[in-house]
A and B are shown apart, each in its own frame.
Chain A
Amino acid sequence: GQQLNQSPQSMFIQEGEDVSMNCTSSSIFNTWLWYKQDPGEGPVLLIALYKAGELTSNGRLTAQFGITRKDSFLNISASIPSDVGIYFCAGRPTNAGNNRKLIWGLGTSLAVNP
């Protein structure tokens, strides 16, 4: 099935560093979502974006809905050890109509060295 291009696939950083990851699609989306998954748990919603150009923050996390509506990025500032996990982007294509199916990226695995 269709997937989003999420990059990077993995990151290994030092505590305190900033992190940036992004997702791109070949089609226009009307929703972008960013989730984090800890080991042994389900993905948890971090930020939801619904409008092109929208910039939303959640603590040290900031995400933006790209102007072209085909991309989104997530930034984490001043990383801490508990930021470790897998981050997923997900989106809903504009041409999906009332279909509630999300398209998912393959995830960015983040490791933080204390």
Chain B
Amino acid sequence: DAGVIQSPRHEVTEMGQEVTLRCKPISGHNSLFWYRQTMMRGLELLIYFNNNVPIDDSGMPEDRFSAKMPNASFSTLKIQPSEPRDSAVYFCASMQGGLVNSPLHFGNGTRLTVT
């Protein structure tokens, strides 16, 4: 089975530019999570969706960050405008629905560098 698919794998952009990260969850998984990973802060949950509806966005840093899930097989995380402090690895993860204790399955991440 295909795992969680993220694109692009690497993104280098200049400060002020818009960045869009993409994620395709595992088929049949109805919860989707966006994480940010840095050395200093570890894995931080930004937002998660259940059945395409945002449930908890308390981790979204500020209004420059937005996430959408237009259907069960696709989600985007957008940063506009980007800043150097946004440089990190962004992970998407999905989880099977029905059981709140189901484990998370991660994609391979997008490494974002903002110069």
List, in ascending order, chain A residues with CB within 8 A of B109's CB: 40-42
Q: Does B108 contact A (CB under 8 A)?
A: yes
Q: Are B44 and A1 in contact (CB under 8 A)?
A: yes
- A95 smallest CB distance to B (angstroms): 13
Interface size class of A (residues with CB under 8 A): 20 to 34
How many chain B residues touch the partner (CB < 8 A)? 24
Q: Does A99 contact B (CB under 8 A)?
A: yes
List, in ascending order, chain A residues with CB within 8 A of B106's CB: 35, 42-44
Q: Does B21 contact A (CB under 8 A)?
A: no
| 0 or 1 for each of B25-55: is its CB under 8 Å from A? (1 = yes) | 0000001010000000011110010100001
Q: Are B59 and A45 in contact (CB under 8 A)?
A: no
Q: Name the residue on A nearest B33 (C-beta).
A: A100
List, in ascending order, chain A residues with CB within 8 A of B69's CB: none
- Taking CB atoms and an 8 Å cut-off, the chain B residues in 84-111 that contact chain A are 91, 93, 95, 100-101, 103-109
